[in-house]
A and B are shown apart, each in its own frame.
Chain A
Amino acid sequence: MRHWARLSLVAAAVLELGCSWQRFDEVSENAPIVLLKKPNKLESGFGVSLATATLDDQVLVLSTGSAPASPGAVFDLGPGEAPGLDARDTGSCDSDECALAAQPAGLARSRTSADDQELCFAVGTGTSSNADGIVVRCLNEVEYGLEIPDGAKEFVLDPLLDGTPELLVPLVLASDASETPALLAGVPFDQRAWFYAPNGFDFVALPAPGDDESFATTLAVLRIGDDARIFAIGAPEEGHVWLFRSDDGESAFPIGCLGGVSGFGRALASGFVDDDELDELLVSDDFNVTIFDGRSLIELPRTESEACSLGGLHGGAIVTSFGCGSNGATTGCDEARFGAAIAVGDLDGDGDGEVIVGAPGMTVRDTPRAGALLVFDVEGDRPWEFDEIQFLSSAEEGDQLGATVVAPEQGDRAVIAAGAPGNGKTAVFFCSSLLPEDRVGARCR
């Protein structure tokens, strides 16, 4: 009997010493990163494009498949660290009468012809009950349409209506991060762009400058006042970024063209990088990301010049410019496609925004093209140096994390949502090493 008792003790010791499987639950519980569950409807990819809309405690992220055929799925991250991993709404552009935009846009508040709506996404083009044009779908599943210029319909709407979707040109959309954002739309092949003023229902066309064929491939909206906006429209093949300003939402005028290096305008983003309540413009080229101070851009005068350079900017207009970097876990900056996507968010809650740059071609832990996100605080003596690199712990080859990225606001701080379209993933990064100790939540301990 004593032998059996001893044997039991030894067995217990082995079990205890050996391997408690519960520790894996403990270590993975409230992990810093969560993967949003891909709805079955999204058959052609997931995380191909992202958009976000935040209103009070509702922090929405729209993740889509490949345009124009795929629908999008809306997830509610909520106010804390317990995001809804299952899609809240999978009806975005979920019909044959809707063509998904190449880049959707979030609208915290919007206005239809009849009433105000909250937490909506401009998801593509198609037919709606009130109008054919840009399809806006809200969290309450209300869909409405925004008129689009007739010339654009040929590319973004008529093929859909005519039953020739293969001829569709996916629309590109962008909005600012305000509660009542302006919506900017562009059709790359049509070299056409227009915008909708905050709470505006009618489009305002922007003049197409010059002969940039890739005009309107990328878009960004900068907040410079209640209704005043600067619209940045990229023509990356030409390396140009065209700037338009609207002070009243009813008209806009050009204020210049930035450019000069190859791939300039490959990705555009806006946000509060500093604390002057004016959005900065972030532009990536083939190698770097350059931050243009919003205040400096406001000072740009109306111009009819079609010359694209940085010469017109005054000193201090460029906040900083930085390129790819790596650490022990990430390598391969040459193939990283650094700057494929850019987002600005106040990750550390200090009032100014950090810049998150996607590098989808980066090698992570010897996994090629797993992709990574480089976070720049853009503060201190060396603002061009990255502060941390985020990646997926279970990175797989070809994930291409960082092909698209947004920074949803969650209370007084922001989190990162990034797409890894290569393997159909959308990840939310809750933690940052920049977070002060008193703001670190359970996921970040």
Chain B
Amino acid sequence: MFGAVTAARMTRSRGSLLVALLMLALAVLLAMSSATAQGDSKGLARKLELIREQMEQGQALYLKGDYSGAAKTFEQGFQHSPYSAFLFNAGVCYQKLTDYENALGKFRQYLTVDPEAPDTEKVRERIAALEAALAEAAAAEAAAAAAADAGDAGDAALDLDAGDAAPTDLDAGVPEAGVVLPPLGTDDDSAMKSLVVIETEPEGAPLTLYARTSDAAKPFAVGGENPGWQAIASRRSPTNLTLDVGRYHIVVEKYRDFNVSETDIDVAPGHVHHFKANLSQGAFMAFLRVSSNVRGAYIFLDDEKGAGLPWGNVPHGELVAPGKHKFRVEAPGFQPLLDEIELQAGEQKEMQAKLERVDYGFLRIDSEAPEIRVSLDGKPVGGWRSGETPLDVRATAGQHTLTVTGEGRKTFNGPVRVLGGYVLPVRVKLYPKYPRGAAWTQAIFSAAFIGAGIYLGTESNQLHDELEADREAGVLEEGDGRVTLGRWFSIGANASFVVGGVLAAVSTYNFVKDPIPESRYSTKEPLDFDDPRKARPSALVSRRRSNRAAALRKTPAPALRVAPSVAEQGGGLVVGGSF
């Protein structure tokens, strides 16, 4: 502000234009500064979210009893984000594993990384206990070795007398097998420390952290005696602290023109807490974290339609202004969730959004056939050609009848189950139709022979009738040419019937015969819906495919195909085209 006034004085003597330019430049600088600050804030939020994930993952493993896994997780967390809470928690895990060597290492590193931690005394006590335990173990080991050397085969007992204990040697290493270390307190589920990050706007404000030492203590009052409360750390913002589970109170002292700000905080085990005080408003911001059963779901804050940029992806936590907020959580394949929340200043709130999958799904269909047409429940839904992206067909969840046809291939017709909220990859294998050329040829010849048989038989019957009539009239002569003709007609008719019948039987057999298996389909693991904010928006693809299917129905693309044809009788090439 001071800078802005100085700039104003200078501009009076040089003209209003220069003043305007300077004001503009200042505005740009302020805007850039604001954007940078916003970017820093987002970056910190993302960083804290990563820390939070690792912290919670380690905490979860710890609660499950997987101390080794928890220790490794905390160690990795420290490597990525060197906050002392990770070290302490890893030390606790090693201690649970009676790996006192590593436990000692972590606690000592903890003191090195955060020498002003409020709990340095407690950690030193823990270190001392560990060192003592290790010393006792080393002494017991030495006694056992001596007894063995003396050939004392009697009852060798492990002498745990402190006077015989070997000197503490932090480099003694892990006690050997068979050595029993003395118990070291009991770390329960709340033993994990949490990381508490405290910021102020503007930065640099002095702050004091008080810990409630008595559950009966009254609420903290600035300027009061506050029995049951103990100041455990004084820092300038921004700062971070590694704290035990418990209630604390942060007091941001009077700074510049800003008044005091304060807030209670409840530290949970193995968490990351983020506090920020907006000194101009004289209040701490609230912290909202949204998690969900769908990792990566989009969170929109105060954007009910989700039209703007998302606030974050699940799980996501960030400082927000206290007050009422509406948030929307959505993910492809799930019903969007809308909810409202009211946050108090300094409140740390975590919302769990349980998303339900939508009641429809997609079949993502392709085939090894060069071109297919697809119908669902008897209605055409599109086509697909080799080389294209698979055809997405939207359908309500449940059983449907899928029909896939391909030129020269056996039609597939069968049930398929659409999974709500999933994309089911379906690969349809359309087997070629068994060639019926021979069967048709045989059928045609059969019909021709049977037709000839009928004709010859009819002619034969007619001749016979005529001859009988002539005989009855007494005018029939032996050797009448019709006798021979009729006889040959009869023989021809019978031969035609026999040949036609045999051909009909063979034809029928060849029509029925089909060594080629029926067409079928196979599915892969169901996929989540494509994320429209990413590479392959399902809806868009679907729409595009619908349009293309319509175009396919209207004007089939010209094509000339040459395909090998294999039959039992031989092989060859089939040339086909559509124009």
A residues engaging B (CB < 8 A)? 7, 10-11, 14-15, 18-21, 23-25, 27-28, 30-35, 329, 388, 390-394, 427, 429, 431-433, 444
Q: Which residues of A contact B493 (CB under 8 A)?
A: 18-19
Closest to B502 in A: A11
Contact status A15-B475, CB under 8 Å? no
- What are 21 A-to-B residue pairs whose CB atoms are below 8 Å? A7-B501, A11-B497, A18-B453, A18-B494, A19-B494, A21-B490, A24-B463, A27-B467, A27-B468, A28-B467, A28-B478, A28-B479, A31-B476, A32-B471, A34-B479, A35-B477, A388-B474, A393-B470, A393-B480, A394-B477, A394-B482
CA–CA, A62 and B119, complex, Å? 156
CB <8 Å contact, B477 and A24: no
**Cα of A62 to Cα of B316 in the assembled complex, Å:** 131
- B505 close to chain A: CB less than 8 A: yes
B160 interface residue per 8 A CB criterion: no
Contacting chain A: which of B36-44, B206-214, B243-251, B454-462?
Answer: B454-462
A7: chain B residues at CB < 8 Å are 501, 505
Contacts of B475 in A (CB 8 A): 32-33, 329, 390-393
Give Cα A11–Cα B450 distance, bound, in whole angstroms. 12
User: How many chain B residues touch A (Cβ–Cβ < 8 Å)?
Assistant: 35
C-alpha spacing A429/B487, complex, angstroms: 24
CA distance A20 to B456 in the complex (A): 12
Chain B residues with CB below 8 A from A433, complex form: 474
A33 touching B477 by the CB < 8 A rule?
Answer: yes
- For residue B464, which residues in chain A have a CB less than 8 angstroms away from its CB? 23-24, 27
Of chain A, the residue at the smallest CB distance from B489 is A19
Chain A facing B: main interface SS = mixed
The answer on a CB contact under 8 Å between B487 and A24 is yes
| Contact call A28/B476, Cβ cutoff below 8 A | yes
In the docked arrangement, what's the CA distance between A392 and B481, Å?
Answer: 11
A392 touching B477, Cβ below 8 Å: yes
**In contact, B498 and A15 (Cβ under 8 angstroms):** yes
CB closest residue in chain A, given B474: A431
Q: Which of A18, A19, A394, A444 contacts B480 (CB 8 A)?
A: A394
Of chain B, the residue at the smallest CB distance from A392 is B477
Give the shortest distance, in Å, between B473 (CB) and chain A (any CB).
8
| Assembled-state Cα–Cα distance A14/B487 (Å) | 16
Looking at the assembled complex, report how far the CB atom of B267 sits from the nearest CB atom of chain A, in whole angstroms: 86
Q: Which residue of B lies closest to A17 (CB)?
A: B457
Taking the closest CB of chain A, its distance from the CB of B504, in whole angstroms, is 9
B539 within 8 A of A: no
**B501–A33 CB distance below 8 A:** no
Contact yes or no, A11 B467, CB < 8 A: no
Of B464, B476, B501, most buried by chain A (CB within 10 Å of CB) is: B476
Residue B19 lies at the interface, judged by CB distance under 8 Å to chain A: no
In the complex, what residues of B have CB within 8 A of residue A24's CB?
463-464, 467, 483-484, 486-487, 490
User: How far is A327 from B574 in the complex, measured between Cα atoms in Å?
Assistant: 67
Question: At the interface, yes or no: B447 with Cβ under 8 Å from chain A?
Answer: no
B174 interfacial by beta-carbon distance below 8 Å: no
Q: Give B456's nearest chain A residue, CB to CB.
A: A19
The main secondary structure of chain B at its interface with chain A is: helix
B482: A residues at CB distance < 8 A: 393-394
A397–chain B nearest beta-carbon distance, Å: 14
Contact surface of B with A, Cβ cutoff 8 Å: 453, 456-457, 460-461, 463-464, 467-468, 470-471, 473-484, 486-491, 493-494, 497-498, 501, 505
For B474, give its contact among A11, A35, A390 (CB under 8 Å).
A390
* A34 CA to B575 CA, complexed, in Å: 65
Find out whether the CB atom of B487 lies under 8 angstroms from the CB atom of A21.
yes
Interface centre among A7, A34, A394, A432, by most chain B C-beta atoms within 10 angstroms, is A394
Shortest Cβ gap from A395 to chain B (Å): 9
User: Closest CB of chain B to A242's CB: distance in Å?
Assistant: 38
- Shortest beta-carbon distance from B499 to chain A in Å: 11
Is B471 a contact partner of A15 (Cβ separation < 8 A)?
Answer: no
Chain A positions within 8 Å of B484 at CB level = 24
Decide: A394 and B471 in contact? CB cutoff 8 A.
Answer: no
Min CB gap B451→A, angstroms: 13
Across the two chains, which residue of chain A brings its CB closest to B500? A14
Q: Given the complex, which residues of B lie within 8 Å of A427, measured CB to CB?
A: 477
User: In the bound complex, do residue A15 and residue B480 qualify as a contact, i.e. CB atoms below 8 Å apart?
Assistant: no
A24-B484, A24-B490, A31-B476 given. 18 additional CB < 8 A pairs? A11-B501, A14-B494, A14-B498, A18-B493, A19-B491, A19-B493, A21-B488, A27-B476, A27-B483, A28-B476, A32-B475, A32-B476, A33-B477, A34-B477, A388-B474, A393-B480, A429-B474, A432-B474
Give chain A nearest CB distance to B481 CB in angstroms: 5
Q: How far is the CA of A21 from the CA of B491 in the complex (A)?
A: 6
Q: Least Cβ distance of A392 to chain B in Å?
A: 5
Residues of A within 8 Å of B497, CB to CB, are 11, 14-15, 18
Q: Would you call B494 and A33 a contact (CB within 8 A)?
A: no
**Given A15-B497, A15-B498, A27-B467, A33:B478 Cβ within 8 A:** yes
Residues in chain B near residue A34, CB distance under 8 A? 477-479
Shortest distance from the beta carbon of B411 to any chain A beta carbon, whole Å:
28
Closest chain-A Cβ to B62's Cβ sits at a distance in Å of 75
Chain B residues with CB below 8 A from A329, complex form: 473, 475
Which 7 A-B pairs rank lowest in CB-CB distance, beginning with the nearest? A33-B477, A19-B490, A21-B490, A431-B474, A393-B470, A31-B478, A28-B483
Residue of B nearest to A445 (CB): B471
Central interface residue in B474, B483, B488, by most chain A CB within 10 Å? B474
Shortest A428–chain B CB gap in Å is 9
Could you say which residues of chain A place their CB within 8 Å of the CB of B476?
A: 27-28, 31-33, 393
Determine if A19 and B468 form an interchain contact, defined as CB atoms under 8 angstroms apart.
Answer: no
Closest Cβ of chain A: how far from B477's Cβ, in Å?
A: 4
- How many Å lie between the Cα of A444 and that of B472 in the bound state? 8
- The distance from the CB of B173 to the nearest CB of chain A, in whole angstroms, is 87
Chain A nearest CB: distance from B270 CB in Å?
78
Q: Which residues of A contact B491 (CB under 8 A)?
A: 19, 21
Which B residues are CB-close (under 8 A) to A14?
A: 494, 497-498, 501
Residue of A nearest to B493 (CB): A19
Which chain A residues lie closer than 8 Å to B470 at the CB level?
393
With a cutoff of 8 Å between Cβ atoms, the chain B residues found around residue A431 in the complex are 474
CB distance from B511 to the nearest CB of A (A): 14
Task: Say how far B290's CB is from chain A's closest CB, in angstroms.
Answer: 72
Q: Which residues of B contact A388 (CB under 8 A)?
A: 474
Among residues of B, the one whose C-beta sits closest to the C-beta of A429 is: B474
Instruction: Quote the shortest CB–CB distance from B469 to chain A (angstroms).
Output: 9
